Amino acid sequence: MRLSDLPLGNIARISSIEDSPYKEKLQEMGCIPGVLVKPIMKAPFGDPIAYELEEYTLSMRRNEAYSIHVNPLDSLFNS
């Protein structure tokens, strides 16, 4: 599943990042395999999206989030 498709409030673990112009920037911001991520807010037109990533909030555009692959966690952990 792509991070851009993860519903608000659901938690997932980053599995990989596609080769793209954003890859290095995303990795520098903490988007690395194994990290937990949770979408918490969307702008009125759905772009950008705010994500809770470890201990901080990161905002990114849908096309950046589209390049990140995640594995959703069990619904027990989602709110």
Rounded distance between C-alpha atoms, residue 29 and residue 26, angstroms: 5
pLDDT tens, position by position, 24-40: 999 999 999 999 999 99
pLDDT tens digits for range 6-20: 999 999 999 999 998
Residue 53 pLDDT: 93
CATH number, domain 3-77, options 2.60.40.10, 2.30.30.90, 3.20.20.210, 3.30.43.10: 2.30.30.90
What pLDDT score does 79 carry?
Answer: 55
Structure-token match 């009125």, residue found = 44
User: Amino acid identity, residue 45?
Assistant: F
pLDDT confidence of residue 74: 75
Strand spans (E) along 1-79: 12-17, 36-42, 49-53, 56-60, 68-72
